[in-house]
C-alpha cells in the first residue's frame, strides 16, 4: 500500500516499500502473502540457490530445465512487472580465484538476467562484489548491459561505518584489503562506462558513516535502500524505531525517490492485538505480517514529513532537467517566459525595496514634492520593474519620471497597453530600442535592470549595462550595483548520463540551467567573477580569469566530480540582496535555477587531495563564452575552447 497520501507527483516511487524474501518456488503464494501483508513489491530470488551449472555435467544430449522459481505463467505479466524485483543469486562470484566458481558465476549471471528480462521485470538486484577487485564481474555485466533493454540493474553495496568517520578514521582499523564501499561502486561503474541502466541499492546497517560520507551517495543513481531489521531500535512501548541519524537518512531517501526495502527476520515482539507504531489498527482477523510493525514505522516517518512548499511543487517537473540558458540579446523572449518570470513576486518586492531606498537617498524629505527623479528601466520586458518602481515612488512619496527601454517589439506592444490601462501616460515614456543603441534625451538618476542570469553575468548584464551607463549621471545609482558568481564541485550522475547520451562534444561543453536535485555538493562554494555598476575605470574589461582550490572534507571519502554547480548573489542597492547562492539565497524566489558546467571526463578526488579548477570569461566581437578545466588531482581537457560549443551572442 502507499506509505502515505501526499500531493500528486510529490514523491513518485518513494511512496512504496518492498520486502526481501528467501527463495520460494511457490511464487504465487509468496507474492500473495507479502502483498496482503502491506508490502508493495518483493525482492525475490529467481533461481534455486543450490543450482550450479557445473553440476549438470557435460552431457549436452540431455536438456536440463533450469530450477527457476516457477514458470512465467504463475504470475500475470503486470504482477511480474509491478510487484517483483528479481534477486540474482548471492553465491555468484565472478572474481573468484576458483575457476569452477568463476565459470559457474558467469553462466548463472547471464541465465538469471535473461530470465528476468523475459519476465519483463523493471529491475534486478545484483549481489555485492565479494572482494576488493570486481573487474571480471563488471566486465561480464557490461557485456550484458549492451543488449539489456529497459530493465534496471541494482548493484548491492553496503553502507557501512568502515567508511570515513571524522572522529575514528584510522587506516589501521580497516581490514586487510578493505575498501571504501563507494570506491568499490565507482570502480564497477567506471568499467561499465557509466551505463545509465546500472544503479545502486544501499544496504543500511545499524551504524552509519559520517554525514559527509553518506551525502555523496545522493549524487549517485541510488534506487533502493535496504534496511535490515537489526538496524531498528526499540522504543518505550516495545515497537521498532530508528535512531535520529537513520530517521534523517530515511527521510532524505523519501525526498530523492529512493524506494525502501525491509530485510531480515522480526527482532521485536509486538504484543498480540496491539496497534502499529503509526497508530494503525491490526488487519482484520488478527493476522499481521511478521514485518508489519517495521513497515508501519516507515509509513509513520513518511506521513510526518512536512508537505512540499508551493515553490518546490511548482519546480518538481524541472528537477534534474537540463535546459539551455537564454540568449537574451540574440532572441526575443516569448509571452510564456515573461509570464513565468512575472509571477515571482519575491524578486520584484526586492527591487521595489531597492528603488525605495535609492529614492529616499536621492531626494531628501524636504524636496520630495519639488524634485522629480529620472529613472530608466533598461530591459523593461512587459513592465514588472516599471510597476515596482512606481510602487516604490508611491511608498516613499517621491516624484518619478520613467523611461521604459525594451528591444523586443512584441513586449513593447504589451507595455503600451499596460501604460494606457494604468493611466501612466504622464509618467512613463516607452522606448522601443536596444539600450546599447539608444540616445537618451536626458541623464538618469537611477538605472534599473533585471539582466542577471543563473551565473550572474551569463546573460550579458555587464555588456548591456556598459552600453547603458553613458546615460547615467556621474553620481547616479545602478540597481543592481554589483553581482558575484559562485561555483562548487558536485556529483551529478544523472546529469552526466543525460549529457553523455547525446554522444557528442558539444553537450559536454555547454553550461545548463537546471533545478539540481539528485546531486551531492562536495565542498562549500567559492566566488568566481564580480561585476560592479556603474564602472568608470578606464582600464575596465569584462574578461575574467579565476583559479579556485576546493578541499573536500576528509570524512567524505573519495568522490567523483561530474561538474560544477553555479550560482549568483547580487547587491541591488546597499543592504538589499537578491540571489540563489545557497547560504544567502533569497527565500521563495524561483526566477533562477542554478547553472551546471559539466566535465567531459569525471574527476575522482581522494581524501586530502585538493581539487583545482580554472574558469575563464572570454569576450569577442560578437560573443561571450566560458572556458573551464581541472588541473588537480589530474588534468582535464580544456572545455569550450574559443566558444566552439557554447556562447552567448552579443
CATH number of the CATH domain containing 291? 3.20.20.150
Residue 142 domain flag: yes
434 is in an annotated binding site: yes
Averaged over 43-55, what is the pLDDT? 92
Same domain assignment for residues 537 and 584: yes
Place of cell 555588456: 463
Same domain assignment for residues 33 and 115: yes
- pLDDT of residue 413 exceeding 90: yes
- CATH number of residue 602's parent domain: 2.70.160.11
How would residue 325 be classed by pLDDT, with cut points 50, 70 and 90?
A: confident
Residue 60 domain flag: no
47 is in an annotated binding site: no
Total domains, the chain: 3
User: Nearest CA to 559 among 532, 595, 531, 523?
Assistant: 523
- pLDDT of residue 132 exceeding 80: yes
Is 515 in a helix, a strand, or coil? strand
Same domain assignment for residues 511 and 396: no
Lowest mean per-residue pLDDT among 23-37, 51-65, 92-106 = 51-65
58 is in an annotated binding site: no
Same domain assignment for residues 502 and 644: yes
How would residue 178 be classed by pLDDT, with cut points 50, 70 and 90?
A: low
Higher pLDDT, 489 or 317: 489
- pLDDT of residue 67 exceeding 90: no
Based on the residue annotation, tell me whether 450 is a catalytic residue of this protein. Answer: yes
How would residue 137 be classed by pLDDT, with cut points 50, 70 and 90?
A: very high
pLDDT of residue 166: 39
Residue 521 domain flag: yes
Residue 193 domain flag: yes
Between CA 572 and CA 579 the distance in angstroms is 10
Pairing type for strands 152-159 and 198-204 reads: parallel
Catalytic residue among 112, 163, 220, 459: 459
Residue 557 domain flag: yes
Same domain assignment for residues 193 and 259: yes
Residue 99 domain flag: yes
Same domain assignment for residues 374 and 495: no
- pLDDT of residue 289 exceeding 70: yes
Structural domain span for residue 565: 482-649
Averaged over 159-187, what is the pLDDT? 62
- pLDDT of residue 9 exceeding 70: no
Between CA 220 and CA 276 the distance in angstroms is 34
Between CA 321 and CA 309 the distance in angstroms is 20
Between CA 92 and CA 94 the distance in angstroms is 6
Same domain assignment for residues 438 and 494: no
Same domain assignment for residues 421 and 498: no
| Other Cβ atoms within 10 Å of 561 Cβ, number | 27
Supply 121's cell numbers: 521485470
Between CA 284 and CA 300 the distance in angstroms is 20
pLDDT of residue 310: 81
- CATH number of residue 391's parent domain: 3.40.50.150
Catalytic residue among 450, 509, 581, 627: 450
Same domain assignment for residues 291 and 432: no
- pLDDT of residue 63 exceeding 90: no
Same domain assignment for residues 345 and 421: yes
Residue 59 domain flag: no
574 is in an annotated binding site: no
321 is in an annotated binding site: no
406 is in an annotated binding site: yes
User: Of the candidates 431, 450, 469, which is a domain's last residue?
Assistant: 450
pLDDT of residue 8: 41
Same domain assignment for residues 542 and 619: yes
Residue 581 domain flag: yes
- pLDDT of residue 645 exceeding 80: yes
Same domain assignment for residues 381 and 501: no
Q: Omega into 480 within 30° of 0, i.e. cis?
A: yes
Amino acid at each position: 500500500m502507499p506509505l502515505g497520501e501526499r500531493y500528486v507527483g510529490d514523491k513518485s516511487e518513494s511512496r512504496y516499500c518492498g520486502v526481501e524474501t528467501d527463495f520460494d518456488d511457490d511464487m504465487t503464494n509468496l507474492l500473495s502473502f507479502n502483498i496482503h501483508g502491506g508490502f508493495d513489491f518483493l525482492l525475490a530470488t529467481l533461481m534455486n540457490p543450490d543450482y550450479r551449472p557445473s553440476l549438470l555435467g557435460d552431457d549436452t544430449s540431455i536438456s536440463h530445465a533450469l530450477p527457476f522459481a516457477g514458470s512465467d505463467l504463475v504470475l500475470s505479466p503486470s504482477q511480474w512487472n509491478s510487484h517483483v524485483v528479481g534477486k540474482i543469486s548471492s553465491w555468484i562470484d565472478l572474481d573468484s580465484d576458483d575457476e569452477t566458481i568463476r565459470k559457474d558465476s558467469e553462466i548463472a549471471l547471464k541465465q538469471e538476467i535473461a530470465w528476468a528480462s523475459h519476465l519483463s521485470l523493471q529491475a534486478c538486484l545484483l549481489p555485492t562484489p565479494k572482494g576488493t577487485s570486481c573487474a571480471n564481474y563488471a566486465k561480464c555485466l557490461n557485456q550484458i548491459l549492451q543488449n539489456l533493454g529497459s530493465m534496471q540493474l541494482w548493484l548491492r553495496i553496503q553502507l557501512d561505518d568502515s567508511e570515513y568517520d571524522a572522529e575514528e578514521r584510522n587506516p589501521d582499523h580497516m581490514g586487510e584489503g578493505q575498501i571504501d564501499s563507494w570506491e568499490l561502486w565507482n570502480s564497477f561503474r567506471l568499467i561499465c562506462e557509466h551505463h545509465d541502466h546500472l544503479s545502486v541499492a544501499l544496504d543500511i546497517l545499524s551504524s552509519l558513516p559520517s554525514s559527509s560520507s553518506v551525502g555523496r551517495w545522493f549524487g549517485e543513481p541510488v534506487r533502493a535502500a535496504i534496511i535490515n531489521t537489526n538496524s531498528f531500535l526499540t522504543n518505550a512501548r516495545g515497537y521498532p524505531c530508528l535512531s535520529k541519524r537513520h530517521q534523517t537518512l530515511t527521510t532524505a531517501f523519501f525526498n530523492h525517490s529512493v524506494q525502501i526495502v525491509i530485510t531480515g527476520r522480526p527482532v521485536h515482539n509486538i504484543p498480540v492485538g496491539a496497534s502499529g507504531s503509526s497508530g494503525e489498527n491490526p488487519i482484520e482477523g488478527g493476522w499481521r505480517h511478521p514485518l508489519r510493525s517495521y513497515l508501519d514505522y516507515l509509513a509513520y516517518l513518511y506521513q510526518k514529513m512536512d508537505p512540499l512548499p508551493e515553490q518546490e511543487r511548482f519546480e518538481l517537473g524541472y528537477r534534474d532537467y537540463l535546459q539551455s540558458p537564454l540568449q537574451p540579446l540574440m532572441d526575443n523572449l516569448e509571452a510564456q517566459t515573461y509570464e513565468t518570470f512575472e509571477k515571482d513576486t519575491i524578486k520584484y518586492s526586492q527591487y521595489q525595496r531597492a528603488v525605495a531606498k535609492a529614492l529616499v537617498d536621492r531626494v531628501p524629505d524636504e524636496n520630495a514634492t519639488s524634485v522629480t527623479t529620472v529613472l530608466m528601466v533598461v530591459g523593461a520586458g512587459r513592465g514588472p520593474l516599471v510597476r515596482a518602481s512606481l510602487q516604490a515612488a508611491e511608498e516613499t512619496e517621491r516624484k518619478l519620471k520613467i523611461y521604459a527601454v525594451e528591444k523586443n517589439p512584441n513586449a513593447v506592444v504589451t507595455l503600451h497597453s499596460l501604460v494606457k490601462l494604468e493611466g501612466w501616460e504622464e509618467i512613463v515614456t516607452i522606448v522601443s530600442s536596444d539600450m546599447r543603441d539608444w540616445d537618451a534625451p536626458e541623464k538618469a538618476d537611477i538605472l534599473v535592470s533585471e539582466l542577471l542570469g543563473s551565473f550572474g553575468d551569463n546573460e550579458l548584464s555587464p555588456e548591456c549595462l556598459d552600453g547603458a551607463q553613458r546615460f547615467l549621471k556621474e553620481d547616479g545609482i545602478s540597481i543592481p550595483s554589483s553581482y558575484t558568481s559562485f561555483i562548487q564541485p558536485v556529483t551529478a550522475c544523472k546529469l552526466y548520463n543525460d549529457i553523455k547520451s547525446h554522444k557528442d562534444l558539444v553537450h559536454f561543453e555547454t553550461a545548463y540551467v537546471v533545478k539540481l536535485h539528485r546531486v551531492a555538493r562536495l565542498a562549500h562554494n567559492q566566488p568566481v567573477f564580480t561585476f560592479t555598476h556603474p564602472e568608470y575605470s578606464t582600464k575596465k574589461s569584462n574578461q575574467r580569469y579565476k583559479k579556485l582550490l576546493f578541499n573536500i572534507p576528509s570524512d567524505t571519502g573519495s568522490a567523483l566530480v561530474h561538474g560544477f554547480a553555479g550560482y549568483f548573489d547580487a547587491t541591488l542597492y546597499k543592504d538589499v540582496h537578491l540571489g540563489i547562492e545557497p547560504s544567502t539565497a533569497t527565500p521563495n524566489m524561483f526566477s533562477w535555477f542554478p547553472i551546471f558546467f559539466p566535465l567531459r571526463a569525471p574527476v575522482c578526488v581522494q581524501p586530502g587531495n585538493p581539487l583545482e579548477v580554472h574558469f575563464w570569461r572570454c569576450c569577442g566581437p560578437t560573443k561571450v563564452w566560458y572556458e573551464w578545466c581541472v588541473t588537480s588531482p589530474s588534468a582535464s581537457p580544456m572545455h569550450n575552447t574559443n566558444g566552439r560549443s557554447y556562447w552567448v551572442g552579443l
